[in-house]
Every structure is written in structure tokens, then in C-alpha cells.
Amino acid sequence: MNCNIELIEKSLKKEFPYVVKIKKLVESEPTVDVPIPHYELDIFIKESFFSQLENNGPLRVTIVNSFSNESTEIVRGICPELGVTSKNLIVSFISDTEI
């Protein structure tokens, strides 16, 4: 994959101050859970925000949906050759304590 991860990370940090670092953006084969070829975007976020998401289901749903939509647009804008859509980009948040 020839994509500028640093530029994606910089854009995400600008839009979402709780983003610490991109762990990975990788293309993955279909699985039982996601039966189409897809991209996995793993993001380290600040521990305090991660804890809030863990303890507040409605907030988590809102943030994950908003983040997924915006990150899809950012990745698509920086790496159009990947063909990323909201259906094939899987975003996961990881606490920055795991860095």
C-alpha cells in the first residue's frame, strides 16, 4: 500500500484532538465478520477519552460513527487509489497506554 500515513494522521489529529497516533492502516481479506475485502484503521486515542467511550455507550456510538465518516473522507482524499468507503473501512480505537 502506497499511502501517506503521516498525512492521514496529521489530518485526523487536526479534526479530532483525542487522536494520538495511527497504529496501522492495512488492507485485509474478507472474514466472517466482514465478508468483503476491507481496510482496518487502528487509532491510538488519549486514555481519558478512551475511558469515557468505554463507560458511555451512546457517546461511543456517536463518536465512532462521526469518526468513521470523517476518517473515510480523509483517507479517500489522501489515498484515492485505495477505494475506501464507509462500508470497507473498519476503525478501531486503542488506548494510548498501549503504545
pLDDT band of 7, cuts 50, 70, 90: very high
Distance CA 3, CA 16 (A): 20
Secondary structure element (H or E) that encloses residue 90, with its range: strand 89-95
According to the model, what pLDDT value does residue 1 have? 63
CATH of the domain at 51: 3.30.300
Starting at the earlier edge strand, list the strands of the sheet with 89-95.
19-28, 38-45, 89-95
Instruction: Look up the pTM and report it.
Output: 0.91
Nearest Cα residue to 11 out of 90, 80, 93, 70: 70
pLDDT 10s digits, 18-55 = 999 999 999 999 999 889 999 999 999 999 999 999 99
pLDDT 10s digits, 61-89 = 999 999 999 999 999 999 999 999 999 99
Q: Return mean pLDDT, the chain.
A: 94
In the chain, how many domains are there? 1
Query: Which domain covers residue 93, as residue numbers?
Result: 5-29+38-98
DSSP 88: T
